[in-house]
């Protein structure tokens, strides 16, 4: 069984009879067209439901050969006779490879586009195995798509179609000569025990097709590359963890004789009170782990890592393109979408063929569609930004509530103040709410993006997916990353000073960072979103289909005790959806953005991504083999629009990480203090040191300079008349009081210089790496040349032999005619 059509018996429907007759007529025409195209159909009624009828479709040898030639499908000519070089890591990867006695390695062949007239030149040992299951299903699907487009578009809604999974995943085949491919895939690929094993990619491609194969190849390659990033990230984290006790500025914050004597200014108007710097002792210790020299090293490393990942993936993709015969996968081979073809009412002249063809819209109509769709995309992106502004307003307003509710004593002796500051409470609750809003908006924007893309009416499925990919990623980029961009680059940057604070919308006072900066808050935001997203996606992708199938099986068992055939069991599995692997790619590319764009603030992100991906591979495999109908196999040359999207993220990641280190962390101010302001002429220490950093980087404010609108309600305790705040400004009484001091301009210059140097160094290294590593390996180039040579030699020489043979027969006839003309007559 190569394919299955499903429909509801029209005679048992309870709706309008006129519609039933129309549906029946359309279905009968559709089925007769399939039969006329050579397919064999067999109808059988459902065991569980008398209304449902299954039409099993089989493609005989003649049909397979005919359409293989029409579709330019490349098939084996002869086994690969090139010597393969053994990799130095083969001895190591052998421990993680699939058992070759269970799943035998696919033999490599040189291939050529199939032609029936050259049938004898192709490597055919068994006609039943010459076309693999994925190719057979793809050919049958192509035949179905070639019927009348109007009927086809109607039938797509009327008749669900799917490829049969062939056998149970839980039981091996009873025939040793015909192993169950689904069972082998479940046992050696989808089962959790294989979490550390490599994937049988050739076997996956053979069963599910190139499109699914290339996804799992990319996901496996990305996961393997994450191992290196995770190891370096953990190393940088451990460096910060073990060096935190030597963090001088944190020790000063926690020192009762230094931080204990520093009284900080209120961080909001009226309801906030003065507070002691030692309150932030615990957060400063945590910040020392992430805001260390290891962070800088890791940010530079990740800038280079992402380039290596993309360049080596190009090489791997080129190998798969050759091995899976998608190198010359042309647009002409891809079928036009029925939705497009059904609306082709306008006639235009094709520039290439100079022949008339039908299109769904004119050039003017296309411009109108593009304009409307672009406007809709920007409108919804603005709505997302509005939701982000709503979260910011929440942060600003709720900070007042926490400041008034949580106990805030100057001595900071209460245990709750040690861990739960108003900043921490605001950050955690805002991150959780932001995550919930992101998940809700995802559901809305997904439907919006599909509606916009449907209105665009792309010609092929690839064009449809690429267009949808661009829109969805723009939505998701703003949705997921906007809150992180706010914390990293805007929070605490434009706050003014206690006597002249800056207000949002003229009402809400801008947020301030902790004395150690906003880096720890960015880390918290990333941890909540990345961790919550992984848990949510796994629940949505795995638990929901499993529960639906469980309920379906329970209802089926309650209705009938008969043995249910395989095709009916498959029909009651969950449909995979017309977008197929789109959401899997989207999930992984969003994760790729988190791993690269903000990794300077969270070096453990690659480790979390690695753990998630190891589970993701097996969960996706488990879903495909056990919970979903078998997807119609499709060709795919590469990962499509996701490749340029990742390249764009890689370029942006260098800028964001450089700016996080410069503007979000306190690394640059600390270095400026160490090298310039700890020693004369600006400092009083005799040698370079970090002592005195906290006192030097907190400005002084006279409490008598408070405006009435921001003056705190709580009375001032103590004899001091000043409080401190995070900024680099001259003290009260100075001729330039409350203006930025020389330290501020040194820090700004150092930050800009750091960004320019870091960006140029990493971009230069990226350019060198891209230039050195070729997109196609020499081994693959040799295989392609050898294949072209064999194609010319075997197929073209065969044509030459036929021509010579034909010419020889003609020459013999001419000679015979000449001999009979000049032969003397016998008397």
Q: What's the pTM value of the predicted model, to 2 decimals? A: 0.84
Q: What is the 3-state secondary structure (H, E, C) of 316-379?
A: HHHHHHHHCCCCCCCHHHCCECHHHHCCCCEEEECCCCCCEEEECCCHHHHHHHHHHHHHHHHH
d(CA 442, CA 200) in angstroms, rounded, equals 33
236 phi/psi in degrees, rounded to 5: -65, -35
What is residue 495's three-state secondary structure? coil
What letter would DSSP give residue 628?
B
Measured distance CA(558)–CA(539) in Å, rounded: 27
Report yes or no: 214 and 118 within 8 Å, Cβ to Cβ: no
Asked whether residue 410 carries a pLDDT value surpassing 50, the answer given is no
Tell me how far CA of residue 605 lies from CA of 283, 527, 600, in angstroms: 20, 8, 10
The reported pLDDT for the residue numbered 411 is: 45
How far is residue 766's CA from residue 656's CA, in Å, rounded to a whole number? 16
Q: Cα separations (Å) of 257 from 253, 262, 276?
A: 9, 9, 12
Q: What is the pLDDT of residue 397?
A: 77
Window from 98-112, 411-425, 705-719, 810-824 with minimum mean pLDDT:
411-425
pLDDT at 312 over 90: yes
Dist CA 436 CA 10 (whole Å): 45
Cβ–Cβ under 8 Å, residues 601 and 523: yes
pLDDT of residue 310: 93
Residue 362, C-beta contacts closer than 8 angstroms, at least 6 positions apart: 346, 348
Q: What gap in Å lies between CA 192 and CA 615, rounded to an integer?
A: 8
In angstroms, rounded to a whole number, what is the distance separating the alpha carbons of residues 350 and 173?
52
pLDDT, position 416: 46
pLDDT reading at 432 higher than 90: no
Residues 6+ apart with CB under 8 A from 20: 10, 11, 13
Q: Which of 470, 469, 459, 471 is nearest to 361 (CA)?
A: 459
Answer positive or negative: Cα dihedral of 229, 235, 238, 242.
negative
Task: Report the distance separating Cα 638 and Cα 213, nearest Å.
Answer: 10
264 close to 515: Cβ distance less than 8 angstroms: yes
Q: Write down the pLDDT at residue 331.
A: 45
Q: How far apart are CA 775 and CA 220, in angstroms?
A: 19
Are 605 and 530 a contacting pair, CB within 8 Å? yes
pLDDT over 90 percentage in the chain: 15
Helix (H), strand (E) at residue 276: strand 275-276
Residue 748: pLDDT band (50, 70, 90) is very high
Name the residue with higher pLDDT: 576 or 319.
319
Contact 594, 530 (CB under 8 A): yes
Check: CB of residue 424 under 8 Å from CB of residue 283.
Answer: yes
Tens digit of pLDDT for each residue in 460-508? 877 888 888 888 888 888 888 888 888 888 888 888 888 888 887 777 7
Position 282 scores a pLDDT of 84
Question: What is residue 154's predicted lDDT score, i.e. its pLDDT?
Answer: 47
Distances (CA, A) of 597 to 2, 365, 550, 648: 45, 39, 40, 11
C-beta separation of 574 from 629 below 8 A = yes
Q: Above 50 in pLDDT, residue 827?
A: no
Please, are residues 636 and 214 in contact by the beta-carbon 8 Å criterion? yes
Pair 123, 305: CB distance under 8 Å? no
Half-sphere exposure for 315 (CA within 13 Å, toward CB): 14
User: At 617, is the secondary structure helix, strand, or coil?
Assistant: helix
Higher pLDDT, 192 or 578: 192
Contact 400, 268 (CB under 8 A): yes
Model confidence at 352, in pLDDT bands (50, 70, 90)? Answer: low
Lowest mean pLDDT: which of 139-153, 363-377, 695-709?
Answer: 139-153
DSSP 455-492: HH--SBHHHHHHHHHHHHHHHHHHHHHHHHHHHHHTTT
CB 592 within 8 A of CB 74: no
CB atoms within 10 A of CB 810: 10
Closest Cα to residue 333, out of 141, 117, 61?
A: 141
* C-alpha radius of gyration, the chain, whole number: 34
125-154 CB burial, b ≥16 within 10 A, e <16: eeeeebbbbbbbbbbbbbbbeebebebbbb
Residue 457: pLDDT band by 50, 70, 90 thresholds?
Answer: confident
pLDDT computed for residue 394 by the predictor: 82
Greater confidence (553 vs 659) lies with 659
User: Taking residues 588-596, what's their average pLDDT?
Assistant: 91
**Per-residue confidence at 332, pLDDT binned at 50, 70, 90?**
very low
Backbone dihedral angles phi then psi of residue 659, each to the nearest 5 degrees: -75, -30
Using DSSP, state whether 579 is helix, strand or coil. Answer: coil
Which of 76-85, 490-499, 672-681, 792-801 is least confident? 792-801
Helix (H, G, I), strand (E, B) or coil at 161: strand
- pLDDT band, residue 305 (cuts 50/70/90): very high
Report the SS3 class of residue 621.
Answer: helix
pLDDT of 597 higher than 60: yes
Q: What is the pLDDT of residue 290?
A: 86
Does residue 417 have a pLDDT over 80?
no
**What is the end-to-end Cα distance of the chain in Å, rounded?**
73
Name the β-bridge partners of 53. 7, 45
Residue 162 pLDDT greater than 70, yes or no: no
The more confidently predicted of residues 511 and 647 is 647
Looking at every residue in the chain, the average pLDDT score rounds to 81
Q: How confident is the model at residue 741 (pLDDT cuts 50, 70, 90)?
A: very high
d(CA 331, CA 461): 11
CB-based contact 509:503 (threshold 8 Å): yes
Per-residue pLDDT tens over the stretch 635-667: 888 888 899 999 999 999 999 999 999 988 888
d(C-alpha 795, C-alpha 487), whole Å: 64
pLDDT at 406: 60
Region of 496 on the Ramachandran plot (φ > 0 left; ψ -120 to 50 alpha; else beta): left
- According to DSSP, residue 591 is labeled H
When pLDDT is averaged across residues 684-695 and rounded to a whole number, the result is 88
Q: pLDDT at position 409, please?
A: 47
Q: What average pLDDT does this structure show over 9-36?
A: 76
The DSSP line for 43-54 is EEE-SS-TTEEE
**More confident site: 800 or 772:** 772
Helices assigned H by DSSP within 689-796: 693-697, 742-772, 778-791
| Calpha distance 570→572 (Å, rounded) | 5
For position 437, what pLDDT does the model report? 82
Q: What is the mean pLDDT of residues 457-461?
A: 81
Distance CA 271, CA 536 (A): 38
Kindly state the helix (H) or strand (E) to which residue 5 belongs, with its residue range: strand 3-8
- pLDDT value, residue 168: 64
């Amino acid at each position: 069984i190569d394919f299955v059509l499903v429909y509801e018996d029209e005679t048992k429907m309870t709706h309008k009879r006129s519609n039933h007759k129309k549906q029946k007529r359309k279905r009968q025409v559709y089925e007769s067209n399939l039969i006329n195209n050579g397919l064999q159909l067999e109808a059988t009624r459902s065991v569980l439901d008398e209304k449902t009828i299954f039409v099993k479709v089989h493609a005989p040898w003649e049909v397979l050969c005919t359409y293989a030639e029409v579709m330019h499908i490349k098939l084996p000519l002869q086994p690969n006779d090139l010597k393969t070089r053994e990799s130095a890591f083969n001895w190591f990867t052998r421990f993680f490879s699939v058992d070759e006695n269970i799943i035998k390695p696919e033999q490599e062949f040189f291939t050529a586009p199939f032609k029936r007239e050259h049938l004898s030149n192709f490597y055919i040992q068994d006609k039943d195995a010459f076309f693999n299951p994925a190719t057979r299903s793809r050919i049958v699907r192509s035949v179905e798509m070639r019927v009348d487009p109007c009927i086809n578009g109607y039938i797509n809604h009327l008749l669900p179609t799917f490829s049969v999974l062939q056998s149970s995943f839980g039981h091996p085949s009873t025939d040793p000569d015909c192993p169950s491919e689904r069972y082998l895939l479940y046992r050696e690929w989808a089962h959790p025990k294989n979490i550390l094993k490599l994937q049988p990619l050739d076997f996956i491609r053979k069963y599910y097709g190139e499109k699914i194969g290339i996804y799992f190849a990319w996901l496996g390659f990305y996961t393997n590359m994450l191992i290196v990033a995770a190891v370096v990230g953990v190393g940088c984290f451990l460096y910060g963890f073990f060096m935190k006790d030597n963090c001088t500025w944190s020790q000063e914050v926690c020192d009762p004789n230094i931080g204990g004597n520093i009284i900080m200014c209120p961080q909001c108007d009226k309801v906030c009170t003065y507070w002691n710097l030692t309150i932030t002792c615990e957060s400063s210790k945590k910040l020392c782990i992430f805001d260390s020299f290891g962070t800088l090293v890791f940010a530079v490393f990740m800038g280079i890592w992402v380039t290596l990942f993309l360049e080596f993936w190009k090489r791997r993709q080129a190998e798969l393109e050759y091995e899976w015969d998608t190198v010359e996968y042309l647009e002409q081979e891809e079928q036009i979408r029925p939705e497009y073809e059904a609306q082709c009412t306008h006639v235009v002249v094709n520039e290439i063929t100079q022949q008339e063809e039908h299109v769904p819209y004119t050039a003017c109509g296309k411009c109108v569609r593009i304009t409307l769709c672009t406007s809709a995309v920007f409108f919804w992106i603005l709505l997302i930004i509005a939701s982000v502004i709503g979260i910011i307003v929440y942060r600003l307003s709720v900070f007042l509530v926490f400041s008034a509710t949580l106990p805030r004593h100057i001595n900071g002796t209460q245990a709750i103040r040690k861990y739960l500051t108003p900043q921490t409470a605001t950050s955690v609750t805002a991150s959780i709410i932001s995550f919930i809003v992101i998940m809700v908006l995802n559901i809305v924007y997904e439907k919006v993006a599909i509606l916009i893309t449907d209105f665009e009416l792309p010609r092929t499925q690839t064009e449809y997916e690429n267009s949808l990919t661009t829109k969805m990623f723009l939505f998701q980029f703003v949705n997921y990353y906007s809150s992180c961009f706010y914390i990293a680059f805007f929070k605490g940057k434009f706050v003014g000073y206690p006597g002249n604070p800056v207000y949002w919308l003229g009402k809400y006072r801008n947020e301030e960072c902790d004395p150690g900066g906003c880096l720890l808050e960015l880390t918290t935001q990333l941890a909540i979103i990345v961790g919550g997203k992984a848990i949510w996606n796994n629940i949505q992708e795995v638990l929901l289909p499993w529960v639906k199938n469980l309920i379906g099986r329970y209802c089926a068992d309650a209705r009938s005790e008969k043995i249910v055939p395989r095709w009916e069991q498959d029909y009651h599995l969950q449909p995979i959806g017309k977008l197929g692997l789109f959401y899997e790619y989207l999930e992984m590319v969003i994760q790729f953005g988190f791993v690269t764009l903000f990794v300077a603030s969270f070096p453990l992100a690659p480790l979390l991504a690695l753990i998630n991906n190891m589970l993701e591979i097996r969960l996706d495999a488990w879903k495909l083999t056990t919970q979903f109908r078998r997807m119609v196999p499709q060709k795919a040359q590469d990962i499509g629009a996701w490749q340029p999207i990742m390249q764009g993220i890689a370029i942006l990641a260098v800028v964001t990480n450089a700016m996080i280190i410069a503007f979000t962390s306190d690394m640059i101010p600390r270095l400026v203090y160490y090298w310039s302001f700890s020693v004369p002429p600006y400092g009083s220490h005799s040698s370079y040191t970090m002592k005195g950093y906290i006192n030097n980087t907190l400005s002084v404010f006279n409490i008598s300079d408070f405006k009435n609108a921001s003056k705190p309600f709580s009375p001032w305790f103590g004899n001091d008349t000043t409080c401190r705040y995070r900024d680099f400004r001259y003290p009260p009484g100075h001729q330039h009081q409350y203006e930025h001091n020389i330290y501020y301009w040194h820090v700004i210059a150092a930050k800009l210089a750091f960004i320019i140097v870091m960006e140029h160094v990493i971009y230069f290294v990226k350019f060198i790496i891209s230039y050195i590593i070729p997109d196609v390996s020499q081994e693959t180039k040799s295989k392609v040349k050898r294949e072209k040579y064999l194609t010319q030699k075997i197929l073209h020489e065969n044509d030459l032999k036929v021509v010579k043979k034909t010419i020889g027969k003609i020459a013999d006839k001419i000679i015979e005619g000449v001999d009979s003309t000049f032969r003397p007559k016998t008397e």
